[in-house]
Structure 1
Amino acid sequence: MNIPYSIFESEFKVRPDDIDMFQHVHNSKYFDYVLAARYDQMERFYGMPMETFMQQGFGWVVRTAYVDYKRALTLGDSFVVRTGLESFEDKGCRVQFEIINQKTKKICCDGWFDYILIDIATGRAAKVSQEMIEKYTI
C-alpha cells in the first residue's frame, strides 16, 4: 500500500571520525546518518519518539537496507538527511531517504530501509498498531 506521506529533514555536519582512509565519509556512516535522522524526526515531527515505542515494549530493527551512493561527502560538509515513510506492512514499514550536500544541493546518496517492529521481550516481529499508523500518517 503506497500512500504519500510527509518528508522531513534533519541537518548534520561531517565529523573527523566519519572520514575513512580515502578522505571521504565511510560508506557505513551513511547508515548512521539515516538512523540519526529518523530518531530525530520521530520525536520532532511525529510526536512518537523511539522511547515511546520502547516504553510500550517495542523496537524497530532494520531488515533490509538499500543505498545508492552517488557522490562523496568530505570533512566539514554540511548535509541534510531527508526521509519519509514510503509504505506500511503488517509488521513493518519502508522508509525512503536522500542525503543532500547543502553546499552543492546535490544528492550524495539515496535509498530505503525496511524496518520490522519487534516485541522487545520476545525479539519476534510484532503487528504495527492502528495508533502507530495514525501517528505516522502525516
Structure 2
Amino acid sequence: MYKTYETELRVRPDDIDMFNHVHNSKYFDYVLAARYDQMERCYGLGMEKFMARGMGWLVRTVYMDYKRALKMSDYFLVRTRIESINDKKCKVHFEILNKATGKTCCDGWFDFVMINMATGKGIAIPQDVIEHYVDSKNCIAESE
C-alpha cells in the first residue's frame, strides 16, 4: 500500500568512530535526515507544514539491526516506507544500503507519534494527514 523512497547520502569524517567506521548513533541521524528530505520531496508534506499547524513528529521507539559497517566517504542509500499509520502512531521501516555494493548495512523501524508543539503532549494524528500518506497520488517522486 505504501511506496518506498530513497535518499542518497555520504559518510562524513565526523561520522567516523575510533574503530574507523560509522558510529552506531549516526545511523539514527541518517534515517531522520532521509525522512526530512522525503517528507517534502516525495510526499509534498514537509516538516514545516506540520509546524505551521502546531504539530510535530516525535520518535517513540526505534529498532535497528546493524549488519555491516559504512566507512569514510562511502555513498549510501536510505530507503524508507510507511509500514502502518493510524491515529496513534506511524511506523516507518528503513534500510540503509552501501551504494557501491548494494548490501544492507542496517535496517529496522521507527515508531513516530504526533505531538502538539505548544504543550509537547501527544495528540491524535489528524485524519487528513493519514489520508495524505495513504493516497499515493499525493506522492511526487518514487524510487526506482
**TM bucket, shorter chain:** over 0.9
> Which one of the candidate residues 7, 22, 41 is aligned to 1:25?
22
> Is 1:101 matched up with 2:116?
no
Secondary structure, aligned partner of 1:128:
coil
- Report the counterpart of residue 41 of structure 1 in structure 2: 38
Q: Kindly report which structure 2 residues correspond to 1:115-130, keeping only aligned pairs within 5 A, or say none.
A: 115-130=112-127
User: In the aligned structure 2, how far is the partner of 1:76 from the partner of 1:38?
Assistant: 21
Q: What letter matches 1:97 in structure 2?
A: F
- Report the counterpart of residue 70 of structure 1 in structure 2: 67
The answer to which of 118-127 and 18-27 deviates more is 118-127
> Which one of the candidate residues 58, 73, 78 is aligned to 1:81?
78
User: In the aligned structure 2, how far is the partner of 1:134 from the partner of 1:6?
Assistant: 14
Stretches of structure 1 lacking an aligned partner (at least 5 in a row): none
TM superposition shift of 1:89: 2.7
Stretches of structure 2 lacking an aligned partner (at least 5 in a row): 137-144
User: In the aligned structure 2, how far is the partner of 1:72 from the partner of 1:93?
Assistant: 28
What RMSD over aligned residues (CA atoms) do the two structures have, in Å?
0.7
TM superposition shift of 1:53: 0.3
Using the aligned pairs only, state the percent identity. 62
TM superposition shift of 1:40: 0.1
In the superposition, the TM-score normalised over structure 1's length comes to 0.96
Checking the alignment, whether the CA contact within 8 Å between 2:87 and 2:127 is kept in structure 1 is no
- Give per-residue Cα distances to partners, 1:106-126, cap 9 Å, x unaligned: 000000000010011111111
How many residues of Structure 1 are paired with residues of Structure 2 in the alignment? 135
Secondary structure, aligned partner of 2:82:
strand
Moved over 3 A (4+): none
- Report the counterpart of residue 142 of structure 2 in structure 1: none
